Each structure stands twice: as C-alpha cells, then as structure tokens.
DNA sequence: CGTTAGTTTGATGGTCCTCAAGCACTGTGG
DNA sequence: CCACAGTGCTTGAGGACCATCAAACTAACG
C-alpha cells in the first residue's frame, strides 16, 4: 500500500509548508480517482472546454499550442507533482493541448473537489495557489528567455530550471536527472529548430557543461552552466511568504 | 462629477456580465483611493514585495523584466481598465517592474479591499478572475508569437491584440487607435531590435496594411492584417462561460 | 530485417542584429 | 531668437545566428 507521503505533490508542497494530518487527509482524498494515459495521445485538445483537472503523479506531460501553419510551441512541461489544467477548470477556458510524453499516472480532480478541499483546508488553498503562481512566473521567465536569450543560454536555462523543479520532488540533483524529452520537444519549447537544438547540445557537451543523451541529463559543471544561463532561481523559490 | 459608469474597468466587465447596482457600488468603492504617477518612473520595482495593486483608469503602463546583461523584455502593456499587480498582491510575489509610459491615473487597492469586494459580490470575483485569466492567456499567446512567428506577423498580431483590447474600453476600433508607445517599446515587447522594428513598420506601411506614426495606429486593411498575423481572437473573448 | 523514430552532420541562405550616421522634433537656457 | 541637447525615427552596410534542406546513421521494435 502506498502512502500519501509518496505523492510528489505532497513532497513539493512540503518544501513550503509543514502539512498537518488534516491537510494530508484532504490531499489524500484529492488523489482518489486515479487514471492512466498512454504516451502521445492528447489528453485535452486545444479549444475543448474540459471540466476536469489532474494532479500528475507519474510521467511527463507537455502543454502546447499549435499554430495554423503547423508549427508548435510548447508552453510548459509538467512533471510529477504538477497540476494540469488547474486554471482551465477554475475558469473554464482551456486554450491549449496536453500531451503525455510517456505513459502517465494522474489523479482526476473536478472543480468541486478542489473547492471542497480549499474550504476544508484553507492553508492548503494558499499552498496550491502559490504553486499556480509559480507556474505563471515560469511562463513569464520562459517568455523572457525566448525573447532575449540566445540559443545556448536558453537551453542552459531550461535544463537548469528542470533541474530545480525535479530536485523539489526528489527526481534529480545538481549532478543530473532522467529526462524523457526528445530533441524535438526541446526545439518546440525553446522556439528553435530541431537541427539547431542538436548543435547547441553538442556545443554544451564539448564545453563540458552538460550532456543530454539517452534520456539522461548529466550536469558536468553546475556553476559555469548557471553563469552561462544567467540563471537566477528567485522566481522559483519564493519560500518566505508561506512559512508563517 | 464622474460616474462609475465612466470607469474603463466597468466598461470592460460589462462586456461580459450585466452588473447589478450592488456590484457597481462595490466597484465604485474599489476606485476610492486615486493616485497619479508620472511617466518613466517605475511604480514597482523588480524584486520589491509590494502590498498594493492598482486599477488603471487613465494612461498606459508596461510591465517588464530586466536581464542581467541589461536587455529588457516587456511582458505586457496595461491599458485603462486593467489591473496592475493583482497577482502579486494576492500571492505576494512581484517578480517584474511596472513603468508608466505616460502620466497615469490609477486607483490603489489593497489585498483586503479586493477580498472584501469579492465576499460582497461573488459574481464580481468571477468576472475579475476571468479578466486575470485572460491576461494569462495573453502572456501565453505572446510566448507563442515570440517563439514561432516572424517579425512581420509578430508585429501585426500585437497591433491587432491591442486593437481588440482597446475596443473593449471604447478607446479604438478596427480602423485604428491612439498609441503612446515608442518603437523601443515595440522592440522590447516583440523581442526585436529597435532598428528592425522600424523596418517592419515601414514594410507593413508600404504594403498598405497598417501605419504606426506619431502616436497613432491607422489600420488600412483589417482583413489582410488578420490574415498575415494569423490572428484568432479566441483567446481574448471567452464570452460564453460568464453569461449565465 | 525492414520500418520507424530519433540523432547527427554538412551546406546554403534568410532573418534579424549590431554598428554607424544622419534627420526631425521638442524643450531649455543664454 | 538661436544654439544645443535629448529623444525618437530612419536608413545603410556587414555579419552572426539560426532555419531549411538533404542525407546518413543508430537503436528499438515487431
């Protein structure tokens, strides 16, 4: 039997609030309706007004928008512990698609469920809204990266952000992590071509900064990578406000 | 004496909900504390944890992030009727700066004020959260634009989005609008250099699509501009959900 | 063992940046 | 009234960065 303590969401939130027994119980109830999805088939399609959100417990998902001309822009990746479609369920407007990158496990949560949970454990609401605001901050940082960083720095920054996020749920460290993304995924998130992604990766590897190969990211020199990316994790760890 | 009906925020929200007398009263009380700011001097600075938000009633503001290397990325512009720092006041994390582009008028609102208003008029809360989610959708669309559109389409898309937003508060139409932005502002929002912005504008002007000159945007051919930008306003007017 | 998805490398060229310089307009102080 | 400084716009030249096209290679899989 698996404990609620194994939930990546719990691990993530625990980094910011010490969760009470009551709060853990509410979270456990949120995880009731487990579902699986297979890699590659969209869970939610652009335009569709979906009424359910998910808490991702295993696997990776990407949320993206397709342009009329067929090009794709990935807005964000979700990793275990992340919400999928939280905003769209609260505000009934899903304007992008979700695609599982590998086979995934997720807990389905309806708007009611969430609002219930919020009223039973208000501090939990704050914690989850904090997580949501962090997601938004990541989108903004992503925007800045695409607008104002060159390809090398963009890649470095992206890999470092993933590192920080994965570390929070014990799925990585400063020396590296598992990563099921293809170079096409990287291209679509960074606004580059797949060919150029390949060259950038080679470049970073040759400079002995980081190696991305066979679904693994190995960070050779964390410090110099941070420097190249001008990575400032301030937008990720706003620990202060929630501790009280 | 000015009526609450003149407030751009009221005009904006009215496009989506028929506001009751009670709701108008609550909105009026939100507009009590009027303040002015002069052009060019930051209202809120990156990193500062500000406790107040504003409802912009006159003028334009831009929210941006400065990179360590000095380059700037504008995340969004605020026009009358828009909130400034709503998220940061609710979640106490302001990670970018706000700069008035011209002298502005705004109403200061504290977190308490807003929460009070929400409890007095729950439907208003929905409407305001809808506006917030629209802002987020705009950031996502912005991301897609910078990542996957060329300079011409990016510019066209941006000018069309502004057109739609301004029309909502009666400050523009499909034939054009006033716009106090400089070409440097355009460069910083579109992730281009100011020099290239100038060339793009010339190009659009020569093709008789749109003219941006002396603080005025004149749209010559709305249809062909929409086509060039592949502009689909779906992400802006999610009228449906709130009408009930 | 052929097929498919993903990676790698080369060649070529377009988009957009940078540097540089000149122009137009506005406000300021002598 | 005029010099001037400041801000914003405009245009040219040259080159960096990254896209596109093309092709070969590897690994996984039925």
| CA distances in angstroms from A79 to A237, B67, B123, listed in the order given | 17, 27, 34
Q: Is the CB of B71 under 7 A from strand D?
A: no
Residues in contact with A88: Cβ distance below 8 Å, sequence separation at least 6, in sequence order: A44, A49, A50, A53, A94, A95
Gap from A114 CA to chain B (nearest CA, Å): 16
Helix (H) / strand (E) containing B176: strand B176-178
Q: Which of B97, B129, B143, B155 to mutate to test the interface with A (most CBs of A within 10 A)?
A: B143
Q: Which of B69, B147, B150, B241 to mutate to test the interface with A (most CBs of A within 10 A)?
A: B147
- The answer to whether the Cβ–Cβ distance between A73 and B129 falls below 8 Å is no
| CA distances in angstroms from A73 to A99, A204, A226, B203, listed in the order given | 13, 23, 25, 26
Instruction: Name the DSSP class of A192.
Output: -
Nearest CB to A137; choose among B68, B95, B190: B95
SS3 B113: helix
Q: Where are the domains of chain B?
A: 4-130, 135-236
Q: Is the CB of B192 under 7 A from strand C?
A: yes
| Chain B residue whose CA is closest to A64 | B144
Q: Please report which confidence band the pLDDT of residue B93 belongs to, taking 50, 70 and 90 as the band edges.
A: low
Instruction: Name the DSSP class of B193.
Output: -
Measured in degrees and rounded to the nearest 5, phi and psi for residue A14 equal -65, -25
Topology of domain B4-130 in CATH is: Jelly Rolls (2.60.120)
- The answer to whether the Cβ–Cβ distance between A67 and B149 falls below 8 Å is yes
Q: Closest Cα to residue B156, out of B219, B216, B80, B82?
A: B219
Nearest CB to B148; choose among A73, A139, A241: A73
Inter-residue contact B51 to B44 (CB < 8 Å): no
Nearest CB to A146; choose among B65, B133, B143: B143
b/e per residue B120-145 (b: at least 16 CB within 10 A) = ebeebebbbebbbbbbbbbbbbbbbb
Gap from B167 CA to chain A (nearest CA, Å): 22
- Give the nucleotide with minimal C1' distance to the Cα of B149: C15
CATH number, domain A135-236, options 3.50.4.10, 1.10.3720.10, 1.10.760.10, 1.10.10.10: 1.10.10.10
Nearest CB to B230; choose among A68, A93, A191: A68
| pLDDT tens per residue, range A196-242 | 999 999 999 999 999 999 899 999 999 999 999 999 988 887 554 44
Q: What's the rounded mean pLDDT across residues A69-80?
A: 95
| SS percent in chain A: helix, strand, coil, step 5 | 50, 20, 30
What whole-number distance in Å separates Cα of residue A94 and Cα of residue B137?
9
Q: Closest Cα to residue B172, out of B205, B133, B219?
A: B219
Instruction: Name the DSSP class of A74.
Output: E
Residue with tokens 């069309």: B160
Is B136 in CB contact (< 8 Å) with chain A?
yes
| pLDDT tens per residue, range A88-99 | 766 656 678 999
| Chain A residue whose CA is closest to B137 | A95
- The answer to whether the Cβ–Cβ distance between A241 and B93 falls below 8 Å is yes
Residue B1 has pLDDT above 60, yes or no: no
What whole-number distance in Å separates Cα of residue B191 and Cα of residue B151?
9
pLDDT at A221: 97
| CA distances in angstroms from A86 to A61, A66, B141, B219, listed in the order given | 14, 20, 18, 38
What whole-number distance in Å separates Cα of residue B112 and Cα of residue B110?
5
Task: Determine how β-strand A61-66 pairs with β-strand A97-100.
Answer: antiparallel
**Global pTM value:** 0.93
Residue B151 has pLDDT above 80, yes or no: yes
What whole-number distance in Å separates Cα of residue B135 and Cα of residue A47?
17
| pLDDT tens per residue, range B31-65 | 999 999 999 988 877 766 667 899 999 999 999 99
């Amino acid at each position: 039997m698996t404990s609620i303590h194994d939930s990546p969401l719990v691990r993530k939130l625990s980094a910011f609030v010490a969760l009470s027994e009551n709060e853990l119980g509410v979270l456990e109830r949120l995880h009731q309706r487990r579902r699986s999805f297979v890699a590659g088939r969209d869970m939610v399609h652009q335009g569709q007004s979906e009424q359910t959100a998910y808490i991702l417990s295993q696997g990776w998902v990407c949320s993206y928008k397709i342009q009329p001309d067929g090009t794709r822009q990935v807005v964000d990746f979700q990793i275990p512990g992340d919400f999928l479609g939280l905003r769209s369920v609260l505000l009934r407007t899903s304007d992008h698609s979700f695609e599982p990158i590998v086979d995934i496990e997720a807990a389905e949560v309806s708007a009611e469920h969430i609002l219930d949970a919020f009223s039973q454990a208000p501090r939990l609401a704050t914690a989850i809204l904090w997580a949501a605001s962090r997601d938004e901050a990541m989108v903004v940082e992503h925007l800045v990266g695409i607008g104002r960083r060159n390809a090398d720095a963009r890649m470095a920054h992206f890999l470092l952000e993933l590192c920080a996020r994965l570390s929070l749920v014990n799925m990585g460290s400063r020396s590296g992590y598992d990563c099921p993304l293809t170079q096409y995924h990287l291209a679509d998130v960074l606004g580059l071509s797949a060919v150029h992604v390949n060259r950038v990766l080679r470049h970073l590897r040759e400079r002995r900064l980081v190696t991305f190969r066979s679904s693994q990211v190995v960070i050779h020199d964390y410090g110099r990578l941070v420097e190249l990316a001008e990575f400032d994790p301030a937008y990720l760890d706003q620990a202060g406000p929630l501790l009280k």
